[in-house]
Amino acid sequence: MKKTISWACAALALSASLASLPMAQAASPESLPPIEASTLTQEVEALVRQIKSGSLAAMSDEQIVKVFTQLNPQAALAYLEASVKVLGEYELWMRREERLASGWTPQPFVNYIKYRHQPRQVYVKWLKGGPNAGQEIIYDETQRKDAIYGHLGGLFSVVSMWTSMDGSMARSNSNHTVRNLGLQPIVGIIASENRMRVKEGHSSAPDQVEVSRLGGERMVALTWITPPSVTKAYSRKARIHVDIKQPMIRQVETWDDRGDMIERIAFDRVVPARFTAADFDPKNPDYSF
């Protein structure tokens, strides 16, 4: 159904994509002093080399924090954007906890996802070990932009149907639409809020850089705080945990105005892939539609 490509190929593509990185995504030219595109690209390329060579992982916590705090204000976000830009399509294993209308999820949702960014096509399966195991949905904007095709898990898995992207099936276990269940939309939200920060006169740089640990592994945690003057923000605070051994986002956490956590999304594994039409076809024999 698909061909898997290595992270080494993705890393090479990341380096190649940096030269064309759109500066306006990180910050509005009217809001920041101009920074030469070549300078920003060079900083991000140097960071990529440190990760690929293993030199970043060999550093102490203090040295890692120093590397990121000394970057250009736009560089951390530029690195996040570049790292997902090369992932046009991929398999993704994630664990999600969210504050839904019913409250904080008592148990993380465990999802396997096939994601193609353009055209937007998404297959999602709920796995054992989390709520709604067995549920599947497919979104294919080349077929219908406003709807998903899916079925519930458990006893109700025998009935598959078309339903609204914002309908009860979609919203019962996530505040996000299926279109946003990928790495690019998440970085896009951070970039959008960063532009609002800059418009209010704040720096594009993270407000806090620290070394965190997920599953015993060291990560770099980058925290951005949206000022109260930005009233249309998705979240008041966002923290991104970045792998120091490969170009990968490992976890995202966001908080609201009251300081309550909105969501915690952990990305356990990302595999770049090349999908075929069958991967987003409900008639695929590997699916249970």
Asked if the structure places residue 257 within a domain, the reply is yes
Scored b (16 or more CB within 10 A) or e, 103-142 reads eebeebbbbebbbbbeebbbbbbbbeebebebbbbbbbbe
Asked if the structure places residue 286 within a domain, the reply is no
The residues that bridge with 138 in the sheet, in sequence order, are 123, 149
Q: 173 and 37: one domain?
A: no
Per-residue pLDDT of the chain (289 residues; tens, 9 = 90+): 555 554 445 544 554 444 444 333 333 333 334 445 568 889 999 999 999 999 999 999 999 999 999 999 999 999 999 889 889 999 999 999 999 888 899 899 999 999 999 999 999 999 999 999 999 999 999 999 999 999 988 655 668 999 888 776 666 778 888 999 999 999 999 999 999 989 888 899 999 999 999 999 999 999 999 988 888 889 999 999 999 999 899 999 999 999 999 999 999 999 999 999 999 999 999 999 9
What is the model's pLDDT at position 165?
Answer: 82
Cis peptide before 33 (omega within 30 of 0): no
* Dist. CA 249–CA 242, nearest whole Å: 5
What is this structure's pTM? 0.84
Q: How many domains does the chain have?
A: 2
What is the model's pLDDT at position 38?
Answer: 67
Q: For residues 67 and 79, is the Cβ–Cβ distance under 8 A?
A: no
* Dist. CA 186–CA 188, nearest whole Å: 5
What is the model's pLDDT at position 173?
Answer: 77
Q: 35 and 48: one domain?
A: yes
Q: 248 and 188: one domain?
A: yes
Asked if the structure places residue 287 within a domain, the reply is no
Asked if the structure places residue 288 within a domain, the reply is no
Scored b (16 or more CB within 10 A) or e, 65-76 reads bebbeebbbbbb
Q: 6 and 124: one domain?
A: no
**Within 10 Å of residue 78's Cβ, how many Cβ atoms?**
28
Q: For residues 127 and 133, is the Cβ–Cβ distance under 8 A?
A: yes
Q: 70 and 144: one domain?
A: no
Asked if the structure places residue 206 within a domain, the reply is yes
Q: 48 and 166: one domain?
A: no
Q: 98 and 164: one domain?
A: yes
Cα-based angle 250, 123, 254 (whole degrees, multiple of 5): 35
Asked if the structure places residue 227 within a domain, the reply is yes
Q: 122 and 16: one domain?
A: no
- The helix (H) or strand (E) run that includes residue 93 is strand 89-100
Q: 51 and 61: one domain?
A: yes
- The helix (H) or strand (E) run that includes residue 265 is strand 261-275
What is the model's pLDDT at position 152?
Answer: 86
Q: Tens of pLDDT along 261-270?
A: 999 999 999 9
What contacts 100, CB < 8 A, 6 or more positions away?
A: 171, 172, 173, 174, 175
**Single-letter residue type at 92:** L
Q: In angstroms, what CA-CA distances link 176 with 22, 129, 165? A: 26, 21, 10
Q: 137 and 71: one domain?
A: no
Domain limits for position 142: 89-182+273-280
Asked if the structure places residue 228 within a domain, the reply is yes
Q: Tens of pLDDT along 15-67?
A: 444 444 433 333 333 333 444 556 888 999 999 999 999 999 999 999 999 99
Q: 168 and 218: one domain?
A: no
Q: 100 and 213: one domain?
A: no
Asked if the structure places residue 156 within a domain, the reply is yes
Retrieve residue 82's tokens.
Answer: 């570049």
